[in-house]
Structure 1
Amino acid sequence: MKIGHILLFVSLLAGLGRPVAFAQTLTPEQARTDINYLKRKLDLLHPGMGYYTPKPRMEQLYDSLYNRLTAPVDYWAFYHHVSPLVTALKDGHTNLNHRKNYIGKTTRFIPFYIRPVGEQYFISHNVSADTTLVRGTELVTINGRTIADLHRELMEADHSGSDGDNLTGRRQWSLVQFADYYAAWYGSADSIKITYRLPNDTLVRYARLGCLTLNRFRATVQRRYPQEIDRRPNLSVRIVDTLTHTAVLRVSTFMGIKKNGPFQWAFNRRLKRAFREIREKNVQNLVVDMQGNGGGIVLNSARLLRYWMPKPFTIMQHEEMKRAARNELVTRWNPFSALNFSLQYKAAGVDGFASRSSRRRYRPRTKTAFKGNLYFMMNGASFSAATTVLAKTLDAGMGTFVGEACGSAYWGDFAGHFKTITLPNSHLQVRIPLKKLTHAVVADRANGFTVEPDFKVARSYDDLLSNRDYVLDYTLRLIREGVVARQPIQPIKARPLQASR
């Protein structure tokens, strides 16, 4: 259970700055102005309005929320009030966030990580002052509410990382980032009251625990669990079984290695080195670890696919955006933005624009192509561009998928470019995707709404206690037994994909 890449992800996204006053009351007029502004921006920009939730239902929900704003409302209540309109989109790339610097250096977080085993929840990493809360301690309640109840509410409050009615992304992130989700939804607190059971004990105990700032939380994790911090670089190769010639390729992100590298050359160079190493070490079974890979740049996902796809391929069937999205990409301060937009997009009827290069073809690698057995470790946090790789591989009839269903849809998602809007009075922020990306895949080859695992694997209590990489253990057992789920198939003519209703 490596923890290097999951240290308070949401709070880092929210930014670390000076704290602002929590108290703010909006008049009914201000609150209505804000929710009307949000709805108008969603209608203008979001390419998925009406896709997962029918438009009449969205209009009904908006009217209900708008009409209930008849009295002054404080900031916190308004944040909760707006949330259903965003979550109703069922789009994992659309996020409601607090105003800038609301989550800051003084915000205090629940002092542990929790992990599920069946229907129970256990402490896996404890950073509180009470060191008797060892790994495997069952957490029963926080402030009088059961963990199952809290988890359910947090899953419903935030659809980040999970498309449609798929639950795996929401379940994964709301647990991996439980402390962040809790602070964002319920607020910062100096302390919490918990009830718990120690390992091998039926007695329910009570404790009050102090909550920690981000810096103290991270420092304590690094001090108490130094061997469990994941320091593997992205695209690293590790030989795990010499008898079966098996290696693990860790693909933790498709974001660029260098933030300002427009052509992603650094990512491409590291990818080439990885597959040269795979060839030189005569790897015959390659485990591609995409657990927790939240996506990134589609170009980089295509580059990875080139190392095993059997024939030339395209990534996207269509890339589309609404007409109003052009104004977000063409700016006055950049005189070249209009020319760049016209080179990349063309008018698509009266409703919007389509990418000129969405059907770009990629040629498979030759010398460094991997010809052995492919196994993919995935979970609900395998999202966006990570799902693109999984969907294209499944469409090609390749790979054995192990773990749990990924977070995005097999057909594609809403991503590509983004616009973050700030509501004028509350200053809540909403990130809106501008493009609809449709994968170049055949609908009949899907094994579910998402990419589903061929072998579903869940954590056991012994896995939790030993910090075992249980998905890898299961995958290695499949390899030793010679189990392969599928082989490449011949392409057939694609038909349009539709969302599940």
Structure 2
Amino acid sequence: MKFGHLVFLAGLWIGLAHTSTAQTITPKEAREDFNYLKRKLDLLHPGVGYYTPKPRMEQLYDSLYNSLTAPMDYLTFFRHVSPLVAAIKDGHTNLNHRKNYIGKSTRFIPFYIRQVGTSDDYFITHNVSSDTSLRRGTELLTINGRTVASLHQELMENDRSGSDGDNLTGRRQWSMVQFADYYAAWFGSADSVSISYRLPADTIIRYTRVRCPSLDGFRSRFRRRYSHEIDTRPNLSVRMVDTLTQTAVLRISSFMGLKKTDPFQWSFNRRLKQAFEQIRGQNVQNLIVDMQGNGGGLVLNSAQLLRYWMPGSFTIMQREQMKKAARAELVTRWNPFSALNFSLRYKPDGSGGFASRSSRHRYKPHKQQFKGNLYFLVNGASFSATTSVMAKTLDANMGTYIGEASGSAYWGDFAGHFKMVTLPNSRIQVRIPLKKLVHDVDADRANGFTVEPDFMVKRTYEDLLLNRDYILDYTLRLIRQGVVARRPMELRPLQASR
């Protein structure tokens, strides 16, 4: 598997990282911040009480609030806030450090690491430290005296970004892909760390200390050492991978717009059309849709993709709702048209909140509709609008899903519009989703809480050493054997035939 693109993704997450800037939070300031956050969550978040019952949320809040009795440094307070945000169990609700809390002096652990199989063993895949003996396949045992497994578990528990409910795959995937960023966010920046490790094909446990690079240093050395592994495939690219079985891969890395100034998403739609023209022109019979690591984006773009294989007209959402207070976040004084726009787009929902007028919009199948077999490459970082695509496809009884469970729930999620709340004293930021989006799917057709794989695939040590796209390799073997879980237009069965 190509890992190079992850170093560029890191910039999206490193806003969490810690610098040495000191700040002491008094008990009064801490309680003010905590109360402010609680009030904003109750007013705006449509999912408070959905995964964790409200009495439990209230109990947790009281416990955390009442323990704010002594001054604490900024990072300690950040950790104190985390359990309240994490208890919502919503992958779109993010706890972020204050603005400018990252600087050029911030340092990061100089490795990408991955697990193998179902074990708690972690191995270095990419090394940007000055110690070049730490080659791919080196088992990383401890960092500063703690096992990597225990560190990973702590990071997973305290940041639920990209994973809904009690689903583990999203948390496991993101905290592993961005391990260095998560580590700096939670434990702070460090000039160096002590590690213990075992080299490939060796039983001796060795110890050393490695320096931690800045972000610029990390990226620069990564490019020098692993330039041949940087994934340069553009979004919505198509490539033939097996002419014998007429198999192609459509890579969809995001459902965000291709241009910042394109409200109707014409560029995305145009690129998508070109992709399926290529698929049609090459007479592709087996289409692998690679959405590994696709964190989502615009529902409109996910709907445009579905038009190329859904058997009839369809809707994405059954309903979109928001709380009453969310209106004030969408109607602003500086925009005189915002009130009119809100009235055109939303209506009272009968329970004190608002519902979208257009959530039941129907999309028609595209004239260049794909009629062959669909295979989806999925991992825990396949989130939000990506899960929407797979949920609708599964609901239509189509597709074969390979890899691991997606990050979002089959039923829907909390997303759509967002409010970034800044706590008044610590300046910690919390992103709060404003909408509850319910997929227009039949609950009886779910194959789990998320969209679950028909064929679960785990990385082997050999996969790691060869830097192999093991999920794609497994899928190609299924295609060559003629294995499908659901054939196009077929109504039953839901379970994979093996």
- TM-score band by shorter chain is over 0.9
In structure 1, C-alpha distance between the alignment counterparts of 2:352 and 2:21, rounded to whole Å: 41
- Post-superposition Cα deviations, 1:328-361, rounded to whole Å, max 9, x if no partner, equal 0110111111111111000112421000000000
TM-score where L is the length of structure 1: 0.96
Is 2:139–2:198's contact at 8 Å kept on the other side of the alignment?
Answer: yes
Is 1:396–1:488's contact at 8 Å kept on the other side of the alignment?
Answer: no
1:332 corresponds to 2:336: no
Query: Secondary structure at the residue paired with 2:451?
Result: coil
Alignment map for 1:340-489 (pairs within 5 Å):
340-366=341-367, 368-488=368-488
In structure 1, C-alpha distance between the alignment counterparts of 2:170 and 2:460, rounded to whole Å: 20
Query: Secondary structure at the residue paired with 2:255?
Result: coil
In structure 1, C-alpha distance between the alignment counterparts of 2:248 and 2:422, rounded to whole Å: 46
Where do 4+ consecutive residues of structure 1 move more than 6 Å? none
In the TM superposition, what is the alpha-carbon distance from 1:9 to its structure 2 partner?
Answer: 3.6
In the TM superposition, what is the alpha-carbon distance from 1:49 to its structure 2 partner?
Answer: 0.7
In structure 2, C-alpha distance between the alignment counterparts of 1:449 and 1:60, rounded to whole Å: 26
The residue that corresponds to 1:497 in the other structure is none
In structure 1, C-alpha distance between the alignment counterparts of 2:491 and 2:373, rounded to whole Å: 20
The residue that corresponds to 1:495 in the other structure is none
In the TM superposition, what is the alpha-carbon distance from 1:12 to its structure 2 partner?
Answer: 3.3
In structure 2, C-alpha distance between the alignment counterparts of 1:210 and 1:149, rounded to whole Å: 22
In the TM superposition, what is the alpha-carbon distance from 1:490 to its structure 2 partner?
Answer: 7.7
CA pair 11-78 structure 1, distance change in 2 beyond 3 A = farther
The residue that corresponds to 1:95 in the other structure is 94
In structure 2, C-alpha distance between the alignment counterparts of 1:299 and 1:491, rounded to whole Å: 26
In structure 2, C-alpha distance between the alignment counterparts of 1:5 and 1:135, rounded to whole Å: 18
In structure 2, C-alpha distance between the alignment counterparts of 1:7 and 1:265, rounded to whole Å: 29
In structure 1, C-alpha distance between the alignment counterparts of 2:465 and 2:491, rounded to whole Å: 46
In structure 1, C-alpha distance between the alignment counterparts of 2:365 and 2:58, rounded to whole Å: 46
The residue that corresponds to 1:133 in the other structure is 134
The residue that corresponds to 2:166 in the other structure is 165
Is 1:20–1:101's contact at 8 Å kept on the other side of the alignment?
Answer: no
In structure 2, C-alpha distance between the alignment counterparts of 1:260 and 1:124, rounded to whole Å: 38
The residue that corresponds to 1:156 in the other structure is 157
The residue that corresponds to 2:495 in the other structure is none
Is 2:415–2:436's contact at 8 Å kept on the other side of the alignment?
Answer: yes
In the TM superposition, what is the alpha-carbon distance from 1:72 to its structure 2 partner?
Answer: 1.0
The residue that corresponds to 1:40 in the other structure is 39
Alignment map for 1:215-234 (pairs within 5 Å):
215-234=216-235
The residue that corresponds to 1:63 in the other structure is 62
CA pair 225-217 structure 1, distance change in 2 beyond 3 A = same
Quick one: which amino acid aligns to residue 84 of structure 1? P
- Post-superposition Cα deviations, 1:77-132, rounded to whole Å, max 9, x if no partner, equal 10000000000000000000000011232210000100001321000000000000
After TM superposition, the structure 1 stretch with the greater mean CA deviation from structure 2, 70-79 or 136-145, is: 70-79
In the TM superposition, what is the alpha-carbon distance from 1:486 to its structure 2 partner?
Answer: 0.9
In structure 2, C-alpha distance between the alignment counterparts of 1:480 and 1:353, rounded to whole Å: 50
- Post-superposition Cα deviations, 1:183-242, rounded to whole Å, max 9, x if no partner, equal 000000000000000000000000100001001101111110011101000000000000
In structure 2, C-alpha distance between the alignment counterparts of 1:439 and 1:491, rounded to whole Å: 19
In the TM superposition, what is the alpha-carbon distance from 1:14 to its structure 2 partner?
Answer: 5.1
Is 2:16–2:182's contact at 8 Å kept on the other side of the alignment?
Answer: no
Quick one: which amino acid aligns to residue 46 of structure 1? H
Is 1:405–1:453's contact at 8 Å kept on the other side of the alignment?
Answer: yes
Is 2:295–2:386's contact at 8 Å kept on the other side of the alignment?
Answer: yes
Is 1:9–1:180's contact at 8 Å kept on the other side of the alignment?
Answer: no
The residue that corresponds to 2:49 in the other structure is 50
In the TM superposition, what is the alpha-carbon distance from 1:26 to its structure 2 partner?
Answer: 1.1
Count of residue pairs the alignment pairs up: 490
- Post-superposition Cα deviations, 1:42-82, rounded to whole Å, max 9, x if no partner, equal 00000001000000000000000000001111111100000
Alignment map for 1:259-270 (pairs within 5 Å):
259-270=260-271
In structure 2, C-alpha distance between the alignment counterparts of 1:475 and 1:12, rounded to whole Å: 30
Alignment map for 1:23-34 (pairs within 5 Å):
23-34=22-33
Superposed CA RMSD = 1.5
The residue that corresponds to 1:114 in the other structure is 113
Query: Secondary structure at the residue paired with 1:286?
Result: strand
Is 1:8–1:180's contact at 8 Å kept on the other side of the alignment?
Answer: no
Is 1:11–1:103's contact at 8 Å kept on the other side of the alignment?
Answer: no
Is 2:27–2:69's contact at 8 Å kept on the other side of the alignment?
Answer: yes
In the TM superposition, what is the alpha-carbon distance from 1:398 to its structure 2 partner?
Answer: 0.1
Is 2:4–2:227's contact at 8 Å kept on the other side of the alignment?
Answer: no
The gaps in structure 2 that reach 5 residues or longer are: 493-498
- Post-superposition Cα deviations, 1:29-54, rounded to whole Å, max 9, x if no partner, equal 10000000000000000000100000
In structure 1, C-alpha distance between the alignment counterparts of 2:490 and 2:472, rounded to whole Å: 30
CA pair 127-14 structure 1, distance change in 2 beyond 3 A = closer
Is 1:11–1:180's contact at 8 Å kept on the other side of the alignment?
Answer: no
The residue that corresponds to 1:258 in the other structure is 259
In structure 2, C-alpha distance between the alignment counterparts of 1:16 and 1:199, rounded to whole Å: 33
1:203 corresponds to 2:224: no
Is 1:384–1:413's contact at 8 Å kept on the other side of the alignment?
Answer: yes
Is 1:95–1:432's contact at 8 Å kept on the other side of the alignment?
Answer: yes
Query: Secondary structure at the residue paired with 2:7?
Result: coil
After TM superposition, the structure 1 stretch with the greater mean CA deviation from structure 2, 71-80 or 281-290, is: 71-80
In structure 2, C-alpha distance between the alignment counterparts of 1:490 and 1:314, rounded to whole Å: 19
After TM superposition, the structure 1 stretch with the greater mean CA deviation from structure 2, 343-352 or 266-275, is: 343-352
In the TM superposition, what is the alpha-carbon distance from 1:15 to its structure 2 partner?
Answer: 4.8
After TM superposition, the structure 1 stretch with the greater mean CA deviation from structure 2, 472-481 or 70-79, is: 70-79
Is 1:236–1:249's contact at 8 Å kept on the other side of the alignment?
Answer: yes
In structure 1, C-alpha distance between the alignment counterparts of 2:485 and 2:242, rounded to whole Å: 20
Query: Secondary structure at the residue paired with 2:70?
Result: coil
After TM superposition, the structure 1 stretch with the greater mean CA deviation from structure 2, 23-32 or 136-145, is: 23-32
- Post-superposition Cα deviations, 1:446-481, rounded to whole Å, max 9, x if no partner, equal 000000000000000000001111100000000000
Identity percentage over the alignment? 74
The residue that corresponds to 1:496 in the other structure is none
In the TM superposition, what is the alpha-carbon distance from 1:27 to its structure 2 partner?
Answer: 1.1
Is 1:401–1:455's contact at 8 Å kept on the other side of the alignment?
Answer: yes
Is 1:15–1:104's contact at 8 Å kept on the other side of the alignment?
Answer: no
In the TM superposition, what is the alpha-carbon distance from 1:178 to its structure 2 partner?
Answer: 0.3
In structure 2, C-alpha distance between the alignment counterparts of 1:379 and 1:306, rounded to whole Å: 23
In structure 2, C-alpha distance between the alignment counterparts of 1:184 and 1:473, rounded to whole Å: 35
After TM superposition, the structure 1 stretch with the greater mean CA deviation from structure 2, 322-331 or 104-113, is: 104-113
In the TM superposition, what is the alpha-carbon distance from 1:381 to its structure 2 partner?
Answer: 0.1
TM-score where L is the length of structure 2: 0.96
